[in-house]
């Protein structure tokens, strides 16, 4: 870090960055320090091949909860893969509800059901929390909040409730929450979110 700052000042007369993020030391499951020379490292490309890039990225970030040592396990990467499937399936459901119709993606207003109000309030709270966590480099906390909001609040509760409501306003809320969720998820899962967002 010091060398990069000295070089920046020497060649450009500017400090190249203002923030430095020092992450946890990553250990093996049995507590050994990961090292290429010791043969205790894990090739991330193998994880990407097995679970996918987004699942690997999300699963690793999900484990980072402060500056303490972190014992690496693939369980969280597998969870990331299942979460990618959940995002994909939820998105397919929302898009099937909309069909070819032009749906507004702005925040719905007017008469809302209790379920509508609850999901919009949860989205607003989650967005505020995620933005704060990203600004303060609490990536693991942001991942946990996103996971809980999308899986439980949106999929388990609101999508199920939307099947009973099944009106135009509900469809507007479904697409509004989905699009905003994709934006929040994008730093952690850039590939799947971009694919769905473009569709």
What pLDDT score does 78 carry? 95
CB of 195 within 8 A of CB of 157? no
Q: Is 122 helix (H, G, I), strand (E, B) or coil?
A: helix
* Of 102, 86, 97, residue with least CA distance to 192: 86
Low-confidence ranges of the chain (pLDDT < 70): 67, 101-104
CA dihedral for 42, 63, 61, 86, sign (positive or negative) = positive
d(CA 74, CA 52): 12
Both tokens assigned to 94: 């929302």
Q: Tens digits of per-residue pLDDT, 124-143?
A: 999 999 999 999 999 999 99
Residues 134, 187 contacting (CB under 8 angstroms): yes
pLDDT of residue 26: 82
Burial readout 119-129 (b: 16 or more C-beta within 10 A, e: otherwise): bbebbeebbeb
pTM for this prediction: 0.86
CA distance 57 to 47: 10
């Amino acid at each position: 870090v010091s060398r990069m700052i000295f070089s920046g000042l020497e060649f450009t007369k500017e400090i190249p960055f203002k923030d430095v993020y020092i992450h946890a030391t990553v250990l093996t499951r049995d507590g050994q320090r990961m090292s290429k020379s010791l043969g205790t490292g894990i090739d991330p490309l193998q994880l990407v091949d097995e679970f996918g890039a987004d699942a690997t990225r999300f699963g690793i970030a999900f484990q980072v909860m402060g500056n303490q040592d972190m014992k690496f396990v693939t369980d969280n990467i597998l969870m990331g893969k299942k979460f990618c499937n959940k995002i994909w399936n939820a998105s397919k459901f929302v898009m099937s509800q909309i069909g070819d119709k032009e749906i507004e993606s702005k925040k719905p207003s007017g008469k809302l059901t209790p379920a509508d109000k609850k999901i919009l309030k949860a989205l607003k709270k989650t967005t505020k929390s995620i933005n704060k966590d990203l600004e303060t480099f609490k990536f693991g906390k942001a991942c946990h909040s996103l996971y809980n909001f999308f899986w439980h609040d949106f999929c388990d509760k609101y999508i199920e409730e939307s099947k009973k409501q099944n009106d135009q306003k509900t469809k507007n809320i479904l697409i509004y929450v989905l699009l905003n969720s994709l934006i929040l998820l994008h730093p952690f899962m850039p590939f799947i979110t971009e694919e769905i967002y473009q569709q």
